[in-house]
Copies of this chain bind each other. A is one copy, B any other.
Amino acid sequence: MPTTGTVIIGQSGGPTAVINQSLIGVVKACQARPDVFTRVLGAIHGIKGILDGNFCDFAGEDAATLEVVAGTPSAALKSVRHKATPEDCQKVFARFKELNVRFFFYIGGNDTAETTNIINEMAHREGYDLHCFHCPKTIDNDLRVTDHCPGFGSAAKFVTQAFMGDNLDNRSLSGIKINIVMGRNAGWLTAASCLARAFPDDGPHYIYCPEADFTLDGFCRDIESTYRRLGRCVVAVSEGIHGPGGKAIIDLGEVDSHGNKQLSGSGALGDHLAEVVKQHLAKAMPEKKHRVRADTFGYLQRCFPGVVSESDAREARQAGEAAVAAVLRGEKSGSIAFKRQDDPYRIECFVTPLPTVAKDTKPMPRELLNGAGNDVVAEKIVPYLTPLVGTLPKIGQLKGVR
């Protein structure tokens, strides 16, 4: 049985469509046990809120609001990209002791798990009785141990629907269309675009992920080949693609406090690829004018209200609830992970030690991509993705227009 005391919950890293489900999952599970969780506080802007003493008290929130917040994308407590230093952690403990904080739930990705782990280790070293839990969240689906990450399914649904629409658009007014998808090191979100294929010859016709080396030559050859065959070509390109040896395709220069390079919030990669393809086609097929366009899906992918996977929302809530259940079982620390069963699809939550999730990510297995590295292996990846993404709009096609 755990000690009793104050709960602090925080959200960290890039927001998702369902990160508030995990938050409300933690909050409601704590509120159900006031004998253990004497006070439930939200740290505003994550660890920064703890350092600044900036909290929201969930006692002041009504149940109806909590449910609407659960269904609202992005971090209701606001987020942060600040990595806790040892000095920060000292201050965090001072605050924890002051407020009798005995339960810390931090919702985020691998960087967030790392922060949680550092705080947990410090508490352990100082003999301060603290329960430290990490709830997973990332659209990149690149956390270790877990089968998949809350936030990914909804982002993958957005990407799939975007490609469904864009394939139809391109089918209607032909040309070359390059779409840049989020995912720093992991190609999962870009790979999910394969679910958009409803009919033969549907795009995306190629899928380029960071797990395979990318070359501009191969890219141009791929596109030219499909363009000659179908008169059009739609491709999915991860923002994280790189040449052999990890060489960047273009470099925007900006770096955040975790050493991550800025990839989103700019159309530069897409525009560069479009320009390269234009120049290639002008030489390879000089007989006609070519319509080459690029869209960068950008931040819309990660928290678009109204495009949310049902299973993702449900599981994100379960992850929050599971963290509180683990505390009530007496567990001291860990990260919530999903074990998956298919036929029928369902998940089970379990606790994995913080260091198994913290810091490093895992890439998508290379064998989910074909040998050429320009597409997924559909029969391997589609069964994995389908239940995560959930119901998709039905696409129709006239028999007489194939």
Q: Which residues of A contact B (CB under 8 A)?
A: 11, 14-15, 17, 42, 44, 55-58, 60-61, 65, 67-81, 161-162, 164-166, 168-169, 171-173, 177, 264-268, 270-271, 274, 292-300, 302-307, 392-401
With A and B bound together, what is the CA distance between A69 and B395 in angstroms? 7
Contacting pair A265 B295 (CB below 8 A): yes
Min CB gap A83→B, angstroms: 14
Closest residue of B by beta carbon distance from A257: B289
Chain copies in the assembly? 2
Other-chain residue from B67, B76, B294, B306 in contact with A161 (beta carbon distance below 8 A): B306
Check B397 against A73 for contact (C-beta < 8 Å).
Answer: no
A401–B42 CB distance below 8 A: yes
Q: A76's contact among B80, B299, B397, by CB below 8 Å, is which? A: B397
**Residue contact B300 to A399, C-beta cutoff 8 Å:** no
**Contact pick for A71, options B11, B60, B396, CB 8 Å:** B396
List 10 contacting pairs A-B, 8 Å CB cutoff, sorted by A: A15-B172, A65-B398, A67-B396, A68-B396, A69-B398, A177-B299, A264-B293, A265-B294, A306-B306, A307-B307
Min distance, Cβ A254 to any Cβ of chain B, angstroms: 9
Cα distance A14–B61 when bound, in Å?
A: 47
Contact B266 A165, beta carbon cutoff 8 Å: no
Q: How long is the Cα–Cα vector from A197 to B222 in the complex, in angstroms?
A: 43
A57 to B, closest residue via Cβ? B400
- Tell me the nearest residue of chain B to A198, going by C-beta: B72
Known pairs A304-B165, A305-B164, A307-B307; A78 contacts B401 (CB<8 A): yes
Partner of A78, one of B172, B177, B296, B306: B172
Chain B residue at minimal CB-CB distance from A11: B172
In-complex Cβ contact of A169 among B70, B74, B162, B293 (8 A): B74
> Closest CB-CB distance, A391 to chain B, in whole Å?
9
Name the 9 nearest CB pairs between A and B, nearest first.
A267-B267, A265-B293, A56-B400, A68-B396, A74-B168, A295-B298, A305-B393, A69-B396, A75-B172
